[in-house]
Amino acid sequence: MVIITGEYLKDLRKKASLSQAGLAKRVGVSQAHVAKIEGGKVNPTLATVNKILLAIHPKQTRKCGDIMERNIKFVSPGESAKKALSVMRRHGISQLPVISRGSVTGSISEGTLLRNLDVLGTKKIGEIMEKPFPTVDEGEGAAILPSLLEFHSAVLVSSKGKICGIITKLDVLR
């Protein structure tokens, strides 16, 4: 597992033969800000980290929208937990977003179902669901995905505020 620290970003920058000023120009921040990030004096936003990674490795131009699965399978909170299991089996998937009236309200995975095996016949999805998967914009660089997928089984993709796709570890590995 790689933890993205200021030191790690500094090493990547040096391997790419970039100066702090050169990186700052590519990212659209000041050289002083890059120095503070590399020195561990400030914690950059996720957007800034993504810009830095893309500036260091410009060949990685794939966007989240390029690799997402558009045909999203989902369940609603009012459905039975058995329904989630049925959808997962039928489509050969291991996690689902939980969506109610167009809004993502949670997620459910094989792990969630296993932890609730004894009550699958009596519980609704809304009673056992977990937090929603993280959401990224379809134009976001795909470089963000490995770190998100280390902690989440899927990432949702949005366009103009609406969910339009889903990305799993298998999608990234393809």
Q: Following DSSP, what letter does each residue of 110-173 receive, concatenated?
A: HHHHHHTGGGTTT-BHHHH-BPPPPEEETTSBGGGHHHHHTT-SEEEEEETTEEEEEEEHHHHH
- Domains along the sequence of the chain with CATH: 6-56 (1.10.260.40), 65-173 (3.10.580.10)
Q: pLDDT band at 147, cuts 50/70/90?
A: confident
Q: Residue 144 in contact with residue 54, Cβ under 8 Å?
A: no
* Token pair 């990030």 in the structure block, residue: 37
| Spatial distance between the Cα atoms of 128 and 112, rounded to a whole number of angstroms | 7
pLDDT tens-place string over residues 8-57: 899 889 988 899 999 999 899 999 999 999 999 999 988 888 889 888 87
* 0.85 exceeded by pTM: no
Q: Following DSSP, what letter does each residue of 73-120 receive, concatenated?
A: --B-TTSBHHHHHHHHHHHT-SEEEEEETTEEEEEEEHHHHHHTGGGT
Helix (H) or strand (E) holding 165: strand 162-168
| 167-172: average pLDDT | 90
| Spatial distance between the Cα atoms of 48 and 152, rounded to a whole number of angstroms | 21
pLDDT for res 58:
64
Which residues on neighbouring strands pair with residue 156, listed in sequence order? 135, 166
Mean pLDDT over the full length of the chain: 90
| Spatial distance between the Cα atoms of 163 and 174, rounded to a whole number of angstroms | 22
- The alpha carbons of the chain give a radius of gyration, in whole angstroms, of 19
* Cα 121 versus chain centre, distance: 31
